[in-house]
Amino acid sequence: MTATLSAESPVSSVRSERIPVAVLGATGSVGQRFVQLLENHPWFRLHELVASERSAEKTYAEAADWRLDTLLPEETAGMTVKKLGAELESVILFSGLDSSVAGEAEEHYANRGAVIVSNSRNHRMDPDVPLLIPEINADHCAAIERQRKRRGGKGYIVTNPNCSTIGLAMAIAPIQQQYGIDCLHVTTMQAISGAGYAGVASYAILDNVIPYIGGGEETKIETEPRKILGRWDGEKFIDASFTISAQVNRVPTIDGHLMTIALSLCNRAELRKSTPIETIIDGIELSIESYIGEPQRLGLPSAPRNPLHYIDAEDRPQPRLDRDRENGMSVSIGRLRPDPILDLKMVALVHNTIRGAAGAAILNAELLDAKGLL
> Residues in the site for ligand NAP, rule: CB under 6 A?
25-31, 51-52, 54-55, 84, 96-99, 101-102, 119-121, 163, 193-194, 196-197, 352-353, 356-357
Measured CA angle at 139 (ends 349, 8), to 5 deg? 45
CB of 156 to ligand NAP, least distance (A): 19
Per annotation, catalytic residue among 47, 163, 185, 309: 163
Beta bridge partners, 21, equal: 46, 92
CA atoms of 342 and 3, how far apart (whole Å): 37
The residue annotated as part of the active site, out of 47, 257, 309, 351, is 257
User: What are the residues facing 45 on neighbouring strands?
Assistant: 20
Cβ-based nearer residue to ligand NAP, 95 or 310: 95
Element (H, E) at 40: none
Q: Among residues 217 and 343, whose Cβ is nearest to ligand NAP?
A: 217
* Sign of CA pseudo-dihedral 117, 258, 301, 304: negative
**41 counts as catalytic:** no
Peptide bond into 317 cis (omega under 30): yes
Q: How far is the CB of 127 from ligand NAP (least distance, A)?
A: 20
d(CA 283, CA 101) in angstroms, rounded, equals: 45
Q: For residue 163, indicate whether it is catalytic.
A: yes
Those residues whose C-beta lies under 8 Å from the C-beta of residue 183, and which sit 6 or more positions away, are: 242, 243, 244, 245, 263, 264, 342
Give the closest residue to 373 by CA, choosing from 95, 97, 157, 150: 157
Q: Please, which residue, 30 or 280, has the CB nearer to ligand NAP?
A: 30
Q: How many CB atoms lie within 10 A of CB 216?
A: 13
Q: Could you tell me if 22 and 94 are in contact, meaning their C-beta atoms sit under 8 angstroms apart? A: yes
Round to whole Å and give the CA distance between 323 and 256: 6
* Least distance CB 369 / ligand NAP (angstroms): 22
CA distances from 314 to 9, 210, 310, 311, 317 (A): 28, 26, 11, 8, 9
Least distance to ligand NAP, CB of residue 297, Å: 26
Rounded CA separation 150/146 (Å): 6
Instruction: State the nearest-atom distance from the C-beta of 301 to ligand NAP, in Å.
Output: 21
Nearer residue to ligand NAP within complex by CB, 106 or 343:
106
- Which one, 163 or 308, has the nearer CB to ligand NAP? 163
User: Distance between CA atoms of 194 and 197, rounded to whole angstroms?
Assistant: 8
For ligand NAP, the closer of residues 193 and 332 by Cβ is 193
In the complex, what is the shortest distance from the CB of residue 36 to ligand NAP, in angstroms, rounded to a whole number?
13
Q: C-alpha dihedral over 85, 89, 95, 97, to 10 degrees?
A: -20
Nearest residue to ligand NAP on Cβ basis: 28
Toward ligand NAP, which CB reaches closer, 197 or 245? 197
Strands of 257-265's sheet, edge to edge?
243-250, 181-190, 257-265, 344-350, 331-338, 308-311
In this structure, how many other beta carbons lie within 10 angstroms of the beta carbon of residue 245? 13
**Shortest Cβ 108–ligand NAP spacing (Å):** 12
Catalytic residues: 163, 257
